[in-house]
Amino acid sequence: MVGGQARLLAFTSDEAQAALLRQALAGSGIPRAEVRPGNAEAALQEIGAGQRPDFLIVDIEAGETALFDISALATATEGRTVILALGQANDIAFYRNLRAAGAGEYLLKPASAEQILAALAERAGTREGQASRGEARTVAVIGARGGLGASGIAIGIAWILAEERGQKTALVDLDLQFGTIPLALDIAPGRGLREALEQPDRIDSLFIERASEKVGANLFVLGSEEPIEDRLTLSEAAVATLLGALREKCQWIVLDLPRGPGLQHARILAEASHVVVLAEPTLAGIRDAMRLQALVRESAPGAELLLLAAARPTTKSQNISMADFERSLGQPPFLTLPWDIDAETRAAAAGKPVPEAARESRLAQAMRRLVTRLAGAPKVASRRSLFGWLAGKS
């Protein structure tokens, strides 16, 4: 981090809350922490001017713009900043939407110094804990409609995590009959995945080496091409066992989740730390994105939901404006995926992921932005936990 940058910025125009914040920060030992007058707009201006605090506290008004503001801040800080929102709305749906939009925590006003300190310590602790335990994070990718590019996204982000970030990553295509991941990567579909899901007691510590195809040094791909007429019986417990085994070997698991029947979506989503939902601005696209949103919030309340807008061209009669799209979903998309036929063609011809075959394409860059949101920015200087600061070790 650049010297002189604030480690924590807090914005509120509420004098009483500002006093409580100053009290909390004085006791926190966080260097370069400031409380300033203003709201999310002022915070966005600071981020726009190059500030990248570790923590951002913003006083927000409940209502339509709150979710946009938090989402805009989360996007602008590329997931590197813990965002703490303060507000007066005591409403669980609002709380969940805020968390989905990117807030790390939400506290009711007036928030006491103790509550603020506890929330900061918890967020810092979770983050540091995850990093130090090396726990695998599980990203589920699902398209709200067919053919929007969900598998392409799953492949792209898994490859970036593995190759560009050097993280051991498992990429699992859970569509055992129609899945396209082995095909797209020009590798053999294995039999191991079906076996594992039908007989989970056979999953052992050598499972991943046996059942996966390796792409490069760090990417393990599990997919299959089971006969279309077979009736597969995949138990929900088997998927959990499989993920448990993968977590022992990998830092990241990327799941390509089909929409169709035969999968216990709720049970699988409950395993995810992040869910990427790809939606398109059509009537059916919005309907299904809303249903997926509700399912994710219900079955994986702790997971971060990232909404992407697919830019697949639609016919005029189907098209719904982005404003209506955002209004229906209650949040702006984290990003709009460029529709890039040139990059896709190069990837398909080479049998390689888009970020490898069309490294500089806008589509590859969008995938990197998504990875930054998931995994933080590359090559960040090591950060100390708030606990370290609290203990006066900074």
Ligand X SMILES: Nc1ncnc2c1ncn2[C@@H]1O[C@H](COP(=O)(O)OP(=O)(O)OP(=O)(O)O)[C@@H](O)[C@H]1O
Which residues, numbered 354-373, are part of the site for ligand X (CB under 6 A)? 363
Residue 351: CB minimum distance to Mg ion, A: 16
CB-nearest residue to ligand X? 149
Q: Residue 146 Cβ, how far from ligand X at the closest point, in Å?
A: 4
- Out of 151, 167, 212, 331, the only residue in the binding site for ligand X (CB under 6 A) is 151
Say how far apart CA 175 and CA 328 lie, in whole Å: 29
Span near ligand X by CB under 6 A; candidates 34-42, 129-137, 148-156, 383-391: 148-156
Q: How far apart are CA 159 and CA 183, in angstroms?
A: 15
Q: Say which residues have a Cβ less than 8 Å from residue 294's Cβ, sequence separation at least 6.
A: none
Which of residues 185 and 337 has its CB atom nearest to ligand X in the complex? 337
Stretch that binds Mg ion, among 43-51, 146-154, 207-215, 232-240 (CB under 5 A): 146-154
Pick the binder of ligand X from 163, 213, 340, 356 (CB under 6 A).
Answer: 340
Q: Is residue 148 near ligand X by the rule CB under 6 A?
A: yes
Q: Give the H or E element holding residue 220.
A: strand 219-222
CB of 158 to ligand X, least distance (A): 13
Q: For the purposes of burial, counting CB atoms within 10 Å of the CB of 201, is it exposed (0-12), middle (13-18) or buried (19 or more)?
A: exposed
Name which position in 152, 182, 223, 353 contacts ligand X (CB under 6 A). 152
Which of the stretches 84-92, 144-152, 190-198, 323-331 binds Mg ion when contact is defined by CB under 5 A? Answer: 144-152
Got the DSSP string for 88-133?
A: S---HHHHHHHHHHT-SEEEESSPPHHHHHHHHHHHHHHHHHHHHH
Query: CA-to-CA distance for 345 and 88, rounded, in angstroms?
Result: 50
Helices 341-350 and 362-375: angle between axes, nearest 10 degrees: 80
Q: Per rule CB under 6 A, is residue 307 in the interface with ligand X?
A: no
**Unique residue bearing structure tokens 């966080």:** 30
Question: Are 229 and 135 within 8 A, CB to CB?
Answer: no
Query: Which residue bears the tokens 């936990």?
Result: 385
Asked if 97 is part of the footprint of Mg ion (rule: CB under 5 A), the reply reads no
Binding range to ligand X, per CB under 6 A, among 37-45, 144-152, 265-273, 281-289: 144-152
How many helices (H) and strands (E) the chain has is answered by 17, 13
Token pair of 17, please? 């809350």
Binding-site partner at residue 326 among ligand X, Mg ion, none, CB < 5 to 8 Å by type: none
Q: Binding Mg ion by CB under 5 A: which of 75, 151, 167, 218? A: 151
Q: Residues 211, 337, 357, 370: which binds ligand X (CB under 6 A)?
A: 337
Radius of gyration for the alpha carbons in the chain, expressed in angstroms and rounded: 22
One of 23, 177, 344, 383 touching ligand X (CB under 6 A) = 344
Which of the listed partners (Mg ion, ligand X, none) does 340 bind, with a CB threshold of 5 to 8 Å by partner kind?
ligand X
Answer yes or no whether residue 65 interacts with ligand X by CB under 6 A: no
Distances (CA, A) of 37 to 11, 22, 34, 70, 318: 5, 12, 10, 17, 45
State in angstroms the smallest separation of the CB of 339 from ligand X. Answer: 4
Name the binder of 251 from ligand X, Mg ion, none, CB < 5-8 A by kind.
Answer: none
Helices assigned H by DSSP within the chain: 15-28, 40-48, 64-76, 92-101, 113-133, 150-159, 181-184, 192-198, 207-211, 236-249, 265-269, 283-299, 322-329, 341-350, 354-357, 362-375, 386-390
Interface with ligand X (CB under 6 A), residue from 140, 150, 279, 305: 150
Q: Contact positions toward ligand X, by CB under 6 A? A: 143, 146-152, 180, 337, 339-341, 344, 348, 363
Contact residues toward Mg ion (CB under 5 A) are: 151
